[in-house]
Structure 1
Amino acid sequence: MSAGEMHPGMHPVDEALVQRLIATQFPQWAGPAIERWPSGGTVNAMYRLGDDMIVRLPLVQGGAGDVSMEQEWLPRLAPRLPTRIPEVLGAGKPAQGYPWPWSVYRWLAGEHPEAGALSEPLLLAEDLAAFVAAMRSIALPAAPKAHRGGPVASLDAETRAAIKELREIPEEGVDCDAVTAVWEDALRAPGWAGPPVWLHSDLMPGNLLVDGGRLTAVIDFGCTGVGDPACDLFPAWNLLPAGAREVFRSALGVDDASWRRGRGRTLSQALIALPYYRSTNPAMAHNARHVIREVLAEA
């Protein structure tokens, strides 16, 4: 992996490639300007296409399946949810030297919320709970398994490896003994005994859009599927302050075991992300540090 590259095996993508792909596969959209859209995402490149569309292309092979997932499931999920989600306008195919499927979506306006700078944290907590509850209520057959939707123990080896790595980065100042204790508490929590439920499974601030402090859209459904409902508690620690966190928990009626699993899952994601992205993705590293602080303050 070269210096500054987030992942090994990233495929080069630029405006010229996107222009060629659009011109050959969707000539009706060949006129509007194409412009790289800045994003803190880790798997896809985003390009504005005129005023009302956006092109999303995987940067690594692992993201190709996410594109196919969204093309299949977004149209089926959208009418069942209270919040706008991406609408696929065009399903692109590999071409022009680009090896994976890609998509054109309708543009969704809004801005990403920022932890510590929410204008309506209590109302946002209610909006997020309504979205999560609606996802859980969906009953679509042949649902895929959600990414991260399995038992907490399935994350143990990777989480402990990340803690070990953070011990060797003292400048990050992570209390590795304290995060280990929280993680082991999550491992001891009773597992989910009910049926798997529909999840977004990646409710990061970068996958949420707000306007006036209220949730207007949820994006990036590449990890969606069914699994442990604790997987969609991420906003409690990666975005919401303590008071709004309790509103979110109360609105969803989260039991103690699920809360402990959700806290551990969110912490695990942050611990893994911090050493991996600290030099290549400032947004991801910043949010990981925030999660670690919030989890330890609560615990």
Structure 2
Amino acid sequence: MHANQLTVSADTVRELVDQQFPEWHGLPIRAVASHGTANTLFLIDDEFAARFPLEAGDAGATRQRLESEAQAAHELLGRTRFPTPEPVALGEPGAGYPLPWSVQTWLPGTVATDDDPGESVEFAHDLAEFIHGVRTIDTRGRTFSGEGRGGDLRSHDEWMKTCFEHSERLLDVSRLRTIWSVLRDLPRATADVMTHGDLIPGNVLVTDSRLTGVIDVGGLGPADPALDLVGAWHLLDLGPRQSLRDDLECDDLEWARGKAWAFQQALGTVWYYVDSNPVMSLMGQRTLERILADA
């Protein structure tokens, strides 16, 4: 998926775990099939998930990021009724793997990528409850970091230009450019609140069309309140999407900015993962189809 992607084998994970965490020596380890783009996962004794960053980078910077993600996960833990992972340990480079890596509790369940809840009003109510619960966490004076999604929509213009150029043979780029020209100018009207930051199908767990857990929580932080509304477009069809909006009492501007963030995220996934991660690419296409239908 990435030019500098690392390869992690089960033998490498076995050696790292046995060397660094003797209390888990000999416990069964198996790879976890995932459509995620940031980490490769291994399950330790059906209890813990070992997460290994996929992209090569500086070990010190990676350690800082993993520590920050663990702090975010601790901050979210228990703040809603929906289970989220609990950080357990931080591993060090070794056995040929060059970066720090993390261990957290494993949450059983099926990701929404494999069990589509898009037509479930009950799931929409659950998702709205989760978003509301995250928003009630105190920012403690923190504001958006200035990196990634969640700040100024117009700061993504260069990335969107790149996405449009790579999408000519995949999407109706002319129409999408027109939509972005409107979305990018939507103003901010409210202060930052706490957000999950990445409510895509691969990060929510579903059982019987209900939300039963949320994973990949390391991006928890202050941002545009509309940011978590991406879940409305990535996960929900028209009727349930309206139910989520009603539950959260979104005004027109907030709702439109949520659509803008979903648009920004979806457009990048379509072309970038079209060959390397077709599931992610198709997620982006589906989200854009929902936005185009709404437009």
**Pair in the same fold by TM > 0.5:** yes
Q: Deviations over 1:231-262 (max 9, x none)?
A: 10111111101000000111111111111111
Aligned to 1:288: 284
Residue 206 (structure 1) aligned with residue 205 (structure 2): no
Aligned to 1:264: 260
**Post-superposition, which runs of at least 4 consecutive aligned residues in structure 1 deviate over 4 A?**
none
**Secondary structure in 2 matching 1:194:** coil
**Secondary structure in 2 matching 1:157:** helix
**Secondary structure in 2 matching 1:80:** coil
Q: What's the TM-score, normalizing by structure 1?
A: 0.91
Aligned to 1:121: 120
Q: Deviations over 1:48-97 (max 9, x none)?
A: 11122211110114693542222222122213222111111222122333
Aligned to 2:246: 250
* CA distance in structure 2 between the aligned counterparts of 1:115 and 1:242, rounded to whole angstroms: 20
- Check 1:114–1:46 CA distance in 2 against 1; reply closer, same or farther (3 A cut): closer
Residue 239 (structure 1) aligned with residue 235 (structure 2): yes
* CA distance in structure 2 between the aligned counterparts of 1:253 and 1:175, rounded to whole angstroms: 32
Which stretch has the larger CA shift, 157-166 or 94-103?
A: 94-103
Aligned to 1:3: none
Tell me which amino acid in the other structure corresponds to 2:43.
Answer: R
Does the aligned pair in 1 maintain the 2:143–2:223 contact within 8 Å?
A: no
* CA distance in structure 1 between the aligned counterparts of 2:175 and 2:156, rounded to whole angstroms: 18
Q: Deviations over 1:150-197 (max 9, x none)?
A: 111111221122112212x2xx2x221221222122122222x32211
Post-superposition offset of 1:215: 0.7
Aligned to 2:224: 228
Does the aligned pair in 2 maintain the 1:116–1:241 contact within 8 Å?
A: no
Does the aligned pair in 1 maintain the 2:131–2:195 contact within 8 Å?
A: yes
Identity of paired residues, percent?
35
**Gap regions ≥5 residues in structure 1:** 1-5
Post-superposition offset of 1:224: 2.2
Tell me which amino acid in the other structure corresponds to 1:150.
Answer: G
- Check 1:15–1:143 CA distance in 2 against 1; reply closer, same or farther (3 A cut): farther
* CA distance in structure 2 between the aligned counterparts of 1:89 and 1:161, rounded to whole angstroms: 39
Tell me which amino acid in the other structure corresponds to 2:287.
Answer: V
- Check 1:95–1:226 CA distance in 2 against 1; reply closer, same or farther (3 A cut): same
Post-superposition offset of 1:144: 6.7
**Secondary structure in 2 matching 1:234:** helix
Aligned to 1:158: 159
* Equivalences, count: 289
Residue 179 (structure 1) aligned with residue 172 (structure 2): no
Post-superposition offset of 1:22: 0.6
**Gap regions ≥5 residues in structure 2:** none
Aligned to 1:60: 55
Matches within 5 A, 1:2-81: 6-61=1-56, 64=62, 66-81=65-80
Which stretch has the larger CA shift, 177-186 or 113-122?
A: 113-122
Tell me which amino acid in the other structure corresponds to 1:244.
Answer: P
Does the aligned pair in 2 maintain the 1:66–1:223 contact within 8 Å?
A: no
Post-superposition offset of 1:294: 0.7
Which stretch has the larger CA shift, 275-284 or 110-119?
A: 110-119
* CA distance in structure 2 between the aligned counterparts of 1:181 and 1:249, rounded to whole angstroms: 25
